[in-house]
Chain A
Amino acid sequence: MFEFFLHLSPLIGINIILAVSLNLINGICGQFSLGHAGFWAVGAYTGAAYSVYGALPLPDELNLIISCGLGFIAACVAGLIIGVPCLRLRGDYLAIATLGFGEIIRIVIMNTDAIGGPRGFSGIPKWTNLFWVSLFVVITVVIIANILRGTHGRAIISIREDEIAADSMGIYTFKYKTLAFVIGAGFAGLAGSLYAHYTQFLHPNGFSFMFSVIILLMIILGGLGSITGSIVGAIILTLMPEVLRFMGETVSQWRMVIYSVLLIALMLLRPGGIFGKHEFNPLTLFKKKGEEA
């Protein structure tokens, strides 16, 4: 069982990156996107294509970084191409448009023979391990948190709060919406490349719309707009179905039902998510205690 969780832990990290990056788009910028699995797929396939077809004769670690970088860039480009037309839409319309694009990406992959098409893409080297995943999780969280605590981040948040008011404050809302969308897509691509080099096999059906919904669940569970919330949400939703598997035969059989009931219960009890819009920062926690003492 321990080994099983050791296997699961990089997946938790990958999900954290996905959740935090989606939160930047959905929770922090307030642009409801349902196409995150698409960007994830773009990154995964780009990274995998690099290591299968064009890997340079470099150490594995460097190659992993390169393929993650390529995944990031490719997903950024995809984000830009999709974001520019879609971000003119709002609310449900944007959700539907991004959902459509996410599916288009999957179908295109399904029909591209060079990367396996419906057979799946195999033969990807196993370069990802817990260390690299953790490192990239930290990088992602630090970069996004730092952006948010600067003027560009505040501009992104102001769009969620009130787009018209943001506009009247001299903020180019479209530029910042696109920025949030592209950065979010980029980190999803990075997570994709990490994922590809962990599972060593990719199949287009693994990047379906349902997965976008699961990432969305993670950030809603943790609290839209809270990065720490997304991290917690990603951990809980990755572990919960697996932990239930080990809790006796009855629980195991009913685990998807229990999982759903728990989600419903949480949303009834805390509709804003576990953290709401707040952040949990252990550093300030200690600071406050120190000040009181």
Chain B
Amino acid sequence: MSTPILETKAITMRFGGLTAVDNFSLKIGKTDLIGVIGPNGAGKTTIFNMITGIYEPTEGIVELNGENIVGNRPAFITQKGIARTFQNIRLFKDLSVIDNIRLAGHFRVDYGLVASIFRTKKFHAEEKRLEDEAMELLKIFGLEKKKDHLAKNLPYGEQRRLEIARALGTKPSVLLLDEPAAGMNPNETKELTKLIRWVRDKFQIAILLIEHDMKLVMEVCETIYVVDHGVQIAHGVPSEIQNNPKVIEAYLGTDAE
């Protein structure tokens, strides 16, 4: 593995007496495709929330490019280069498709409120740049014809794509996908599999995904981490994971004694 871009070092999350995640460590290299799997309630989303700053880990640190980012606000962590999508798509539903993407470029915009009120030259230049960047992303994702549609009016598959496009609009170095195949039929999942690989190759970023859909994870991911009850029980390439007795036990349970 190349030098890690994102690394979690023994992060632990306790909610009162409940330990949701215990000593979880993971390393992501520059263009890695990594999956975190585990049964329901295993603590996968909690791991995501700790990385993106929604929760602050009780113990342990999260390093992005060697810098500890624990304790920062989610917005700041995004600005540093970690973008995410959500399990239950969270688009700005009543905004147009292009506005959704424009918002991803918001924190890089270089004009103030006053420039916005007086419509200065800088305002127009920056807005133009923002729109060009957004259009470019929309073209890549085949959504340019729908740029003025409201996000809520897109079909489900396109909403997923728009959400990924929007996350990429923040120009991340790591993209976190929270159950991207949730609610998709096998055909859509197949397309998504291609899309994820393609995004990684095209944008040269690391992708970390949480998924229930075994097929997708086994096909897409190069390294897989398995968690159960907040503890990492296995870690390796898909073929190793598939035959790991501990993993099978976590998913299917043991024989009744």
Establish whether residues B130 and A165, one from each chain, have CB atoms under 8 Å apart when the complex forms.
no
**Inter-chain contact B78/A161, CB cutoff 8 Å:** no
The verdict on A169 contacting chain B, using a C-beta distance below 8 Å, is yes
Asked if A162 is at the interface (CB within 8 A of a chain B CB), the reply is: yes
Which residues from B are CB-within-8-Å of A179? 113
User: What separation, in Å, do the CA atoms of A168 and B109 have in the docked complex?
Assistant: 16
In the complex with contacts A151-B109, A170-B107, A172-B75, A157-B117 CB distance below 8 A: no
Q: Give the CA-CA distance A17 to B12 in the complex, in Å.
A: 51
For the complex, count residues of A whose C-beta is within 8 A of B. 26
The interface bits of chain A over 143-164 (1 if a CB of B lies within 8 angstroms of the residue's CB, else 0) are 1001101111111011001101
Residues from chain A with a CB closer than 8 A to the CB of B95 are: 154, 157-158, 161
Q: Which of A147, A165, A172 meets B73, CB within 8 Å?
A: A172
List chain B residues, Cβ under 8 A from A242: none
Pairwise interchain contact A167-B74, C-beta atoms closer than 8 A: yes
**Min CB gap A42→B, angstroms:** 22
Q: How many A-B residue pairs have CB under 8 A?
A: 97
Residues of the B chain whose Cβ atoms lie less than 8 Å from the Cβ of A143:
117
Q: Report the separation of the CA atoms of residues A28 and B21 in the bound assembly, to the nearest whole angstrom.
A: 38
Instruction: Name the residue on A nearest B74 (C-beta).
Output: A167
Contact of A167 among B75, B105, B115, B167 (CB under 8 A): B75
Query: Does A126 make an interface contact (CB < 8 A)?
Result: no
- Residues A165 and B91 in contact in the complex (CB < 8 Å), given A154-B99, A170-B107: yes
CB distance from B125 to the nearest CB of A (A): 12
Residue from the list B94, B111, B166 in contact with A277, Cβ < 8 A:
B94
- Contact between B116 and A170, CB atoms less than 8 A apart: no
Q: B84, A147: Cβ atoms under 8 Å? A: no
Cβ of A69 to closest chain B Cβ, rounded Å: 16
B106 beta carbon closer than 8 Å to chain A: yes
Contact B119 A151 (CB under 8 A): no
Interface flag for B8 (CB, 8 Å): no
* A164 x B113 contact (CB < 8 A): no
Asked, given contacts A166-B103, A170-B106, A171-B107, whether A158 binds B92 with beta carbons under 8 Å apart, the answer is yes
> How far is B107's CA from A169's CA once the two chains are assembled, in angstroms?
8
Q: Does any Cβ of A come within 8 Å of B173's Cβ?
A: no
Q: A238 contacts the other chain (Cβ, under 8 Å)? A: no
Question: Residues of B at under 8 Å CB distance from A?
Answer: 52, 54, 73-76, 78-79, 83-84, 86, 90-95, 99, 102-107, 109, 111, 113, 115-119, 123, 126-127, 130, 166-167, 169-170
> Lowest 5 A-B CB distances belong to which pairs?
A150-B116, A161-B92, A170-B78, A165-B90, A170-B107
Q: Which A residues are within 8 Å of any B CB, using their own CB?
A: 143, 146-147, 149-155, 157-158, 161-162, 164-173, 179, 277
Can you name 17 A-B pairs with beta carbons within 8 Å?
Answer: A147-B113, A150-B123, A151-B111, A151-B126, A152-B113, A154-B95, A158-B95, A161-B91, A162-B92, A164-B54, A164-B90, A167-B74, A168-B83, A169-B75, A169-B107, A171-B107, A172-B75
